[in-house]
Amino acid sequence: MIDEETKQKAMARLSRIEGQVQGVQRMVGEDKYCVDILLQLSAIQGALEQVRKILLGRHIESCVVEAMASGRAEDRQKKIEELLEVFARYGR
């Protein structure tokens, strides 16, 4: 579950990212220099990575810790598998 603080941080970053994407759209529409556009895209990817980090951290702090503390092997295994899947996607 996402707490209010995490939600606010993620939403603020996503709003900034939305503005960056709109800026890139304008740059493409105005035939701006390709390298400048690529640099902006790189900045957007970095910003998305920060949102991912915020949400993953919250997931670990809440859902994963809760599952580990529950004492139920099934809950622990499910969370471990979820994390492995998330980390596998990072590597792609």
Q: How many independent structural domains does the chain possess? A: 1
Determine the pLDDT at residue 4.
Answer: 94
DSSP 41: H
| pTM score, whole prediction | 0.81
CA 38 to chain centre: 20
Instruction: Please check the confidence at residue 77 and state whether its pLDDT lies above 70.
Output: yes
CATH at residue 9: 1.20.58.1000
What pLDDT was estimated at residue 92?
A: 61
Q: What are the tokens at 37? A: 């556009």
State the amino acid at position 37 in one-letter form.
Answer: I
Helix (H, G, I), strand (E, B) or coil at 72: coil
List the domain range (segments joined by +) for residue 27.
4-90
